[in-house]
Amino acid sequence: MYAIIQELKYMLKYIKGQGVEFMAANIRSPQQKRSIEKTNRIKAKGFTLICQKGYHNVNTDDIAKYAGVSTGTIYNYFQDKKDIFMQGITTFASKILFPLEGRISYFHFTADTLEETITKIVHHCINVHESTQHIHEEIMSMSHSDEQLSLWIQEKELQIAKEIATIIINDHPNIKNPHEKVHIVIGLIEYLCHEVVYHRHPNLDFEKMKIETIQTIISIFNI
């Protein structure tokens, strides 16, 4: 009941155009070690539970019970379950949605290493999708109905694409349309991952599909 009341308060204030500001004023910023650990536990447990059961099948009472805290404690540190979910995504799921994050600087896009680099990237992205399938599905499903999450994903996509393009431009200053090529390549890899992990259409040889994707990417860069 407490969770429902808090959610209703938030919604009413949001309708009046004061939602975020009103709730933020009541949110504590953890300072002591114990408070920080408690906040991190709520965030981790809440994110895990939402990914396991689905965003719309979990409320703050469920999260509180799973995290071993009172519902009131949750509202001391978070606005609502969406706040927990969004913080969980930025903390835990960034590398799930964007497997290349933090690894881009290690890649070399030279003529001699291009095929090896692309192959490593493709295999890494597929492995991440396979190991985090349910989490990835829940986040992407949520992004279709949540503008804040959708915008965050778009911004991260643009950031990573820009980082990759910058590396390629530094190595190959005369390459044509590098930003556009990088976006096409990312789309190809994402489609391949979804086909191999989620769709799995019959009568397709996924090993051959990987090879064709890699060769297509190499021809796009034409380095």
| CATH code assigned at 56 | 1.10.10.60
Work out how many domains the chain is built from and give that number. Answer: 2
Q: So what's the pLDDT on residue 123?
A: 94
Q: So what's the pLDDT on residue 216?
A: 97
- What Å distances lie between residue 3 and 27, 75, 80, CA to CA? 15, 9, 8
> For 98, phi and psi rounded to 5 degrees?
-130, 80
**Helical H runs in the chain?**
2-15, 19-25, 33-53, 60-67, 71-77, 81-88, 94-97, 114-131, 133-143, 147-171, 178-194, 206-221
Tokens of 111: 């003529």
Q: So what's the pLDDT on residue 25?
A: 46
Tell me: do 59 and 168 sit in the same domain: no
Instruction: Show which of 90, 114, 136 is a domain's final residue.
Output: 90
Instruction: Show which of 62, 90, 118 is a domain's final residue.
Output: 90
pTM above 0.75, yes or no: no
Q: So what's the pLDDT on residue 211?
A: 97
Tell me: do 165 and 202 sit in the same domain: yes
CB distance 168 to 221 below 8 Å: yes
Tell me: do 55 and 112 sit in the same domain: no
Q: So what's the pLDDT on residue 26?
A: 67
Whole-number CA gyration radius for the chain: 21
Q: So what's the pLDDT on residue 3?
A: 46
Give the closest residue to 48 by CA, choosing from 34, 36, 39, 58.
58
Instruction: Show which of 90, 110, 137 is a domain's final residue.
Output: 90
Report the C-alpha gap between 186 and 24 in whole angstroms: 37
- Helix, strand, or coil (residue 28): coil
Q: So what's the pLDDT on residue 73?
A: 93
Q: At what angle do helices 60-67 and 81-88 cross, to 10 degrees?
A: 60
pLDDT (tens, 9 = 90+) of the chain, 223 residues, equals 444 444 434 433 433 333 333 344 467 788 788 889 999 999 999 999 998 898 889 999 999 999 999 999 999 999 999 999 989 888 877 777 788 877 787 888 888 999 999 999 999 999 989 988 888 888 888 888 889 889 988 998 999 999 999 999 998 999 999 999 999 999 999 999 999 999 999 999 999 999 999 999 999 998 8
Which domain covers residue 28, as residue numbers? 2-90
